């Protein structure tokens, strides 16, 4: 058991340096500086708007991931059965790996945008960020609703297709999920 906990701690230590990456606050600060300076700003490209949208989506996903890791760690600590505890420890390790992947994506997005922000229309960029947050919140609400519908459908032995038929706007879900792998960014 102690060996497994040590393994989880080693995985966590591997990803700690990524916690100090610049956050969305740094981008907002850069936006406010560029607006305050009064620099002549140009309209952002679709890739730049998509990047700002995704910065906010990824930020929200990282916040959610932190919450899930905390809940998983608590569940592992409170688990009585060794098998259940191990499942929670494994879940925490997977969540930490997912967190590291999200933070790497956020870093790529920010590295792409930081040199561009001062020259771009800050209002358009802020609008893209607000839309990213709104779409993420909507996708979470839809996901929660659909999970409830699916659980209800399974409890009544209905077809699994019935629970997925009304699970939200596919365009919004597609936009949010495209942020996980920003193919438009240079490697």
- The pLDDT tens digits for 37-90 are 555 789 999 999 999 999 999 999 999 999 999 999 999 999 999 999 999 999
Q: Give the residue from 65, 67, 87 showing the smallest Cα distance to 76.
A: 87
Please, what are the averages of pLDDT over each run of 10 residues along the chain (187 residues)? 45 45 54 56 94 97 96 93 93 96 96 94 95 93 73 61 60 90 90
pLDDT of residue 17: 47
pLDDT of residue 21: 45
pLDDT of residue 172: 85
CA pair distance 177, 136, nearest whole angstrom:
9
Average model confidence (pLDDT) for the chain?
Answer: 80
pLDDT of residue 141: 84
Q: Residues 6 or more apart from 138 whose CB is under 8 A from it?
A: 168, 169, 172
CA pair distance 159, 163, nearest whole angstrom:
8
Per the structure block, which two tokens stand in for 73?
A: 């760690």
């Amino acid at each position: 058991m102690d060996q497994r906990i040590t393994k989880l701690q080693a995985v966590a230590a591997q990803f700690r340096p990524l916690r100090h990456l610049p956050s969305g606050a740094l981008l907002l600060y850069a936006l406010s500086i560029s607006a305050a300076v009064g620099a002549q700003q140009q309209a952002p490209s679709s890739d730049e708007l998509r990047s700002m949208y995704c910065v906010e989506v990824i930020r929200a996903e990282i916040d959610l991931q932190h919450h899930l890791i905390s809940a998983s760690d608590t569940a592992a600590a409170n688990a009585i059965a060794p098998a259940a505890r191990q499942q929670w420890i494994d879940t925490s390790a997977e969540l930490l790996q997912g967190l590291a992947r999200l933070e790497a994506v956020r870093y790529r997005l920010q590295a792409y945008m930081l040199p561009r922000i001062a020259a771009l229309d800050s209002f358009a960029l802020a609008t893209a960020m607000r839309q990213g947050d709104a779409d993420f919140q909507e996708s979470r609400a839809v996901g929660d609703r659909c999970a409830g519908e699916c659980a209800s459908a399974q409890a009544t032995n209905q077809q699994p297709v019935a629970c997925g038929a009304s699970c939200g706007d596919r365009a919004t879900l597609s936009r949010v999920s495209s942020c996980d792998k920003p193919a438009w960014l240079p490697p």
